[in-house]
């Protein structure tokens, strides 16, 4: 449980990371950011579309012809289109930097691997990679991730978003017991 602090590098300020904020306060702040997003732009928050665009942009460097031929990718980055020319990409950049900024100010910016007590670091990396791939596939299938579909769609009361949200929790809770070695 304490591997995060197992091999601390020499740090000048030995202060521990600050505690996370009260979840209800965090939720209220999240709600305000989400509201501002809808109020100003008419859109919610999101992450997975931008990840998709980054992927298409990377692939476009190595195999531009392939991006042009696959319909789904070509819509984003085919021909003269720049897959990164989209507001969601800037939101992704902001999310990344916002996370880094808060991590820095709260002394949580540190190379480390967060994992369950019974799993090795390489195994944690492997399942994180696998989980990321499964998650992203599902997110595109559902036309949005936890942020873009569940959170944003939930705030504007979309029926599909609520069905989607409960599906996530059902699948994860159903598997939690069989996969307890990963986390407990």
Cα 84 to Cα 92: distance, rounded to the nearest angstrom: 11
Q: Minimum Å distance from CB 97 to other proteins?
A: 6
Cα 178 to Cα 182: distance, rounded to the nearest angstrom: 9
Q: Minimum Å distance from CB 79 to other proteins?
A: 16
Question: Smaller CB distance to other proteins: residue 14 or 146?
Answer: 146
Question: Smaller CB distance to other proteins: residue 14 or 19?
Answer: 19
Q: Minimum Å distance from CB 120 to other proteins?
A: 12
Q: Minimum Å distance from CB 4 to other proteins?
A: 9
Question: Smaller CB distance to other proteins: residue 12 or 93?
Answer: 93
Q: How far is CA 47 from CA 34, 62, 139, in A?
A: 13, 24, 10
Q: Minimum Å distance from CB 8 to other proteins?
A: 14
Question: Smaller CB distance to other proteins: residue 14 or 165?
Answer: 165
DSSP conformational letter for 44: -
- Tokens standing for residue 17: 């990371």
Exposed, middle or buried, 145 (CB in 10 Å: 0-12/13-18/19+)? Answer: buried
Map tokens 């902001």 to a residue: 94
Identify the sign of the CA torsion 92, 95, 101, 107.
Answer: negative
> Is residue 45 within 8 Å of 18, Cβ to Cβ?
no
Map tokens 């990718």 to a residue: 73
Q: Minimum Å distance from CB 92 to other proteins?
A: 6
> Is residue 145 within 8 Å of 47, Cβ to Cβ?
yes
């Amino acid at each position: 449980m304490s591997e995060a602090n197992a091999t601390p590098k020499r740090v000048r300020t030995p202060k521990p990371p600050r505690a996370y904020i009260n979840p209800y306060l965090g939720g209220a702040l999240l709600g305000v950011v989400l509201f501002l997003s809808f109020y100003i732009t008419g859109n919610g928050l999101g992450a997975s579309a931008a990840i998709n665009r980054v992927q298409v942009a990377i692939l476009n460097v190595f195999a531009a012809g392939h991006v042009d031929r696959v319909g789904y990718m070509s819509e984003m980055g085919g021909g003269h289109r720049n897959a990164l020319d989209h507001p969601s990409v800037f939101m992704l950049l902001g999310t990344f930097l916002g996370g880094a900024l808060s991590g820095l100010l709260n002394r949580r910016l540190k190379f480390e691997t967060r994992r369950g007590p019974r799993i090795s670091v390489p195994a944690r990396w492997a399942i994180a990679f696998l989980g990321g791939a499964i998650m992203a596939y599902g997110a595109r299938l559902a036309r949005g991730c936890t942020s873009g579909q569940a959170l944003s769609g939930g705030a504007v009361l979309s029926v599909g978003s609520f069905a989607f949200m409960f599906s996530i929790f059902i699948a994860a809770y159903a598997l939690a017991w069989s996969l307890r070695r990963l986390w407990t």
